[in-house]
Amino acid sequence: MTQPTELTELTAVQLVDGYRKGEFSPVEATRAALERAERIQPEVNAFVRLTAEDALARAAESAQRWRRGEPAGAVDGVPVTVKDLLLLRGTPTLRGSRTIDPEGRWDEDAPSVARLREAGAVFLGKTTTPEHGWKGVTDSPLTGVTRNPHDLSRTAGGSSGGAAAAVALGAGPLALGTDGGGSVRIPAAFCGIFALKPTYGRVPLYPASAFGTLAHVGPMTRDAADAALLLDVIGAPDSRDWSALPPAPGSFVQALSDGIHGLRVAYSPSLGGQVAVRPDVTTAVRHAVEQLAELGAYVTETDPDITEPMDAFHTLWFSGAARVIQHFGPHQRELLDPGLREICDLGARLTALDYLAAVDVRMDLGRRMGHFHDTYDLLVTPTLPITAFEAGAEVPKGSGHRRWTGWTPFTYPFNMTQQPAATVPVGADGDGLPVGMQIVAARHRDDLVLRTAHALYEAGVAGVATPSPQTTRYDERSEPSPS
């Protein structure tokens, strides 16, 4: 009989295959994932709440369907976590904030959650976020600091930090995150897992984000094959999102087998010298790029025409944050994360003309990237120029950065252009902290991103980074046999 520890190490694809063959059940997998979540929670703080009773009930229903040979969908019985910015029916969505009343009705699912529910997925609980997802690390006045599985003194990144830590430590192979400036890619890179920010509109979003069309919903998983499986499920239209795309032209899972032979890849190690990248990061990413060439891609070292769009991004981001708290009274404002309150004050002073000027910058950046992809199928960069830094800080100590955007120059531009972008774990620095490589494609070519990442996993270049010895003690404690 497969033991719980082994079940937590399996991908969603492997779990479904095991259910189909009768090797283990969704109940066993769910119990193993819940036990892992409970064990990591005191030190890593990945969860806002666990929904164990509901999860086990859904797992039991799934087990019955599998025994009949009638699964409800492609992820029937697979444990999934949901970032606490997305609605999960029957569970409060508190957004990392002390200003939200947990006694609300909570009677609706977000579109991505609804598609997973229809497909029989098992919801383990809600994962942590900074307040309203405003920054690139995960700590909030409501839930405190979420820590990195590889070094508990370091940040897990953000804003989907709880989701990344949960996947990295085996508390569910699938996670839903959100990304408005890098928020699935940043924590995935810091924690050593895979994450995809799909083309805007590929995964519907409701309620609409205050950050507008910068905000995407994306898969956070153990590998690219799991992300393709998840995207096939959640990438369906929903009438509540007027900007949602029509159904994808084909299955993302089926596209994985197409390989990367002949793809034209542009490798930009530092955006033309605009970004200071740590040597360990550069080395790991360059090695992975060399492997792309060995797998048959045509690689050229060149840079996209990206001039620093930070001021325009800040205008869009800060004004969105100001909109979140527009109707808050003085008492509610006092409860906010001080950093969030600061950018909200800045955003409130921006004018409509300021906003429209930022939109002009965004549209021009999108035009330039569209032209770039006339020549190159893919752009490859480091996901981040650094590895995980101290937990509880918005920026690395001594970096000179004022805001989180200072150390995420490779991620947020592609929220402005709405392109698909993924991070793949491709190694570690001298301290054993994961390094991520970013893969970007033209809008609507999510398949190319997933194909390329999958090729790296198949070649053994990419893989889930093993947490450090300090977290392996979670596995050393005795575990009960599955029932």
pLDDT by residue for the chain (483 residues), tens only, comes to 445 458 999 999 999 999 999 999 999 999 999 999 999 999 999 999 999 999 999 999 999 999 999 999 999 999 999 999 999 999 999 999 999 999 989 999 999 999 999 999 999 999 999 999 999 999 999 999 999 999 999 999 999 999 999 999 999 999 999 999 999 999 999 999 999 999 999 999 999 999 999 999 999 999 999 999 999 999 999 999 999 999 999 999 999 999 999 999 999 999 999 999 999 999 999 999 999 999 999 999 999 999 879 999 999 999 999 999 999 999 999 999 999 999 999 999 999 999 999 999 999 999 999 999 999 999 999 999 999 999 999 999 999 999 999 999 999 999 999 999 999 999 999 999 999 999 999 999 999 999 999 999 999 999 866 675 454 454 443 333 333
- Residue 102 C-alpha from the chain's centroid: 25
CA distance 322 to 345: 7
The residues annotated with a catalytic role in the active site are 83, 159, 183
3-class DSSP assignment, residue 200: coil
Which secondary structure element, helix H or strand E, spans residue 195, and what is its range?
A: strand 194-197
3-class DSSP assignment, residue 310: helix
Torsion angle in degrees (nearest 10) through CA of 186, 436, 48, 466: -160
Full-model pTM: 0.96
- Residue 329 C-alpha from the chain's centroid: 32
For residue 199 the two structure tokens come to 């083309």
For residue 434 the two structure tokens come to 């994961």
Which residues, 6+ apart, have CB-to-CB distance to 454 below 8 Å? Answer: 223, 224, 225, 228, 256
For residue 117 the two structure tokens come to 């529910």
Domains of the chain with CATH codes: 4-476 (3.90.1300.10)
> Which amino acid is present at 95?
R
Q: How many CB atoms lie within 10 A of CB 302?
A: 14
